[in-house]
């Protein structure tokens, strides 16, 4: 369902249904630059509905300027407007007080799709809004071919009913119904209001984004706007607005797992938004989670001193409606939760499965444990734990027998222990002395002579978890003399 937010500083409404009024509207093609007189109104950093451009893709709502005009913030993106978006014009000899409707069919791409607007009526006199009850309004006024209808006494889940004013005797194309659903819909939905003292208008299907509702599009106690297009009702707006930070309630910490679980349904799950699962033993599997309903979101966290929780995708050990579906291309894809990591799950009522929202951050364990997942994000603090990433490296130059550490990573120090011998000490040790050390040496002079060549090796018995002793020899076959290179190069790979 569309959301509504208001920028009080700029005076803009983010609703795609009804826009903040414009100062004037064009009557012909204009140059989109410079302040100018439009329909009798001299612009000055004014909000203008441009609707008559030769190139229809250039139509829309702009802010005038002494230089080039730019689209206003609430009409410059893909989700800012839909077929049926309305805008009132505040001034102008021709368009003042007129409401214009965007008639271009969805989908709409701003700057690409040709936009067309048509007048649907004038509001130069007050416009009473038909409301539920005993008939407080006597006419729908200047919006006679539109109709703005408030619904009261809403009831039902997928068959929504309510009361409207007695004046509303039939559906009219472009009619707007403002309602507050009593329940969140769970599937295909119809709307059937009843005029006060009259007979129901008849059930009409409710669509969202061009498709029949499947569940979760209308949310209990969240206002919504439905527009009738002559055949069905389309959700075009609402008022779900979060102005500040928010917090989740319903934190559940069940008894620690003692084994793998199917159809996981701990006591209190029905009212939980955060599920803190403990496991202090080996690795356990979870094949399904109960309590799924359209759009429900659960934050699941693995809290363990040892062990992991693997959410197995499409596993038959759980009831179909409780299963996880993490990748469309591979239904059996699983996600491993390591100690201290979390996942956000949302229930998809269309396929009756729990899906992952967003991407998990990778942990050190997940980076080291095969590092084959396509469903975790690698952050800078863990990327070095991948098996294919060097854990330490360095370059040390030698001048007149004195080594100097030039550049390095995860290196504490280098120590000159004699001609042609260097000890490299690593800051964060490897888990064992069994790590791969890749070595190189810069020859002692430019000439490609045997005496200038250098070979670097690891000293026998000189490799530990946190350091390694390197030796360098010349390439003289008979003597293999220990000599310094012009520069030492080394990198280490393995488990830390």
Residue 309 within a domain:
yes
Asked if residue 426 belongs to a domain, the reply is yes
pLDDT for 223 equals 77
- Tell me the pLDDT tens digit for each residue of 113-139: 999 998 876 544 334 444 443 333 333
Which pLDDT score, from 0 to 100, does residue 322 have?
95
Look at residue 319 in the predicted model and tell me its pLDDT. 95
What would the pLDDT profile of 140-183 be if each residue is shown by its tens digit?
Answer: 333 333 367 888 889 999 999 999 888 788 888 778 888 888 89
Buried-state track 340-356, b at ≥16 Cβ within 10 A, e below 16: ebebebbbbbeebbbeb
> Is the domain of 226 the same as that of 287?
no
Q: What are the tens digits of pLDDT across the range 284-341?
A: 999 999 999 888 889 999 887 778 898 998 899 999 999 998 764 455 677 888 888 8
DSSP 3-state of 416: strand
Last residue of one domain, picked from the residues 301, 334, 358: 358
Q: Tell me what pLDDT residue 144 has.
A: 34
Percent over 70 (pLDDT), the chain: 82
Triad 81, 75, 31: Cα angle to 5°: 125
Q: Cα-atom radius of gyration of the chain, to the nearest Å?
A: 34
Q: Do 169 and 268 sit in the same domain of this protein?
A: no
One domain, residues 278 and 351: yes
Residue positions counted in the chain? 496
Are residues 257 and 333 located together in one domain of the fold?
A: yes
Give the pLDDT confidence of 219-253 residue by residue, as tens digits.
887 778 888 888 999 887 654 444 445 556 688 99
Calpha distance 42→39 (Å, rounded): 8
In a domain, 151, yes or no: yes
Q: Do both 169 and 202 map to the same domain?
A: yes
Q: Is residue 372 part of a domain?
A: no
What pLDDT does residue 372 have?
60
Q: Residue 425, SS3?
A: strand
Tokens representing 61 are 């709502």
One domain for residues 436 and 481: yes
Give residue-wise pLDDT tens across range 399-435.
988 999 999 999 999 999 889 999 999 999 999 999 9
282 lies in the same domain as 352: yes
Taking 90 as the threshold, does the pLDDT of residue 28 lie above it?
yes
Contact 103, 79 (CB under 8 A): no
Phi first, then psi: give them for residue 365, nearest 5 degrees: -65, -45
Q: How many domains does the chain have?
A: 3
Q: Domain range spanning residue 447?
A: 392-493
Which among 380, 466, 462 has a CA at the least distance from the CA of 421?
462
């Amino acid at each position: 369902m569309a959301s509504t937010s208001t920028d009080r500083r700029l005076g803009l409404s983010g609703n795609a249904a009804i826009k903040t009024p414009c100062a004037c509207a064009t009557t012909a093609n204009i140059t989109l630059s410079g302040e100018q007189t439009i329909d009798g109104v001299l612009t000055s950093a004014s909000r203008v509905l441009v609707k008559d451009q030769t190139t229809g893709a250039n139509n829309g709502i702009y802010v005038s300027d002494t230089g080039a005009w730019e689209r206003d913030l609430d009409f410059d993106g893909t989700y800012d407007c839909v077929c049926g978006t309305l805008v009132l014009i505040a001034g102008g000899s021709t368009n003042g007080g007129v409401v214009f409707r965007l008639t271009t069919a969805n989908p709409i791409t701003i700057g690409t799709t040709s936009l067309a607007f048509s007048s649907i009526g004038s509001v130069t006199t007050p416009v009473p809004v038909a409301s539920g009850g005993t008939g407080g309004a006597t006419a729908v006024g200047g919006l006679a071919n539109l109709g703005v209808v408030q619904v009261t006494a809403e009831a039902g889940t997928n068959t929504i009913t309510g009361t409207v004013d007695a004046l509303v005797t039939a559906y009219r194309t472009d009619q707007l119904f403002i309602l507050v659903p009593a329940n969140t819909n769970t599937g295909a939905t119809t709307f059937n209001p009843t005029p006060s003292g009259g007979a129901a208008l008849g059930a009409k299907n409710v669509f969202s984004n061009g498709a029949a509702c499947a569940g979760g599009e209308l949310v209990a106690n969240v206002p919504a706007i439905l527009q009738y297009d002559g055949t069905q009702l389309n959700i075009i707006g609402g008022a779900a607005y979060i102005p500040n930070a928010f917090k989740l309630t319903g934190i559940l910490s069940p008894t620690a797992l003692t084994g793998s679980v199917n159809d996981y349904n701990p006591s209190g799950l029905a009212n939980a938004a955060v599920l803190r699962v403990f496991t202090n033993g080996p690795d356990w599997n979870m094949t399904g989670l109960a309590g799924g309903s359209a759009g429900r979101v659960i934050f699941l966290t693995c809290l363990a001193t040892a062990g992991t929780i693997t959410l197995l995708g499409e596993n038959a050990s759980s009831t179909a409606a409780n299963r996880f579906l993490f990748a469309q291309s591979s239904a059996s894809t699983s996600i491993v939760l390591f100690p201290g990591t979390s996942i956000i799950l949302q229930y998809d009522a269309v396929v009756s499965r729990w899906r992952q929202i967003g991407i998990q951050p990778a942990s050190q364990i997940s980076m080291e444990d095969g590092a084959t997942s396509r469903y975790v994000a690698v952050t800078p603090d863990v990327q070095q734990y991948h098996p294919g990433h060097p854990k330490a490296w360095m370059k040390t130059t030698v001048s007149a027998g004195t080594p100097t550490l030039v550049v390095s990573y995860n290196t504490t120090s280098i120590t000159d222990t004699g001609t042609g011998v260097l000890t490299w000490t690593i800051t964060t040790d490897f888990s064992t002395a069994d790590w791969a050390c890749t070595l190189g040496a810069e020859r002692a002079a430019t000439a490609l002579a045997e005496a200038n060549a250098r070979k670097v090796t690891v000293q026998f018995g000189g490799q530990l978890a946190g350091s390694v002793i390197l030796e360098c020899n010349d390439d003289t076959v008979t003597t293999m003399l220990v000599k310094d290179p012009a520069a030492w190069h080394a990198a280490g790979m393995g488990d830390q």
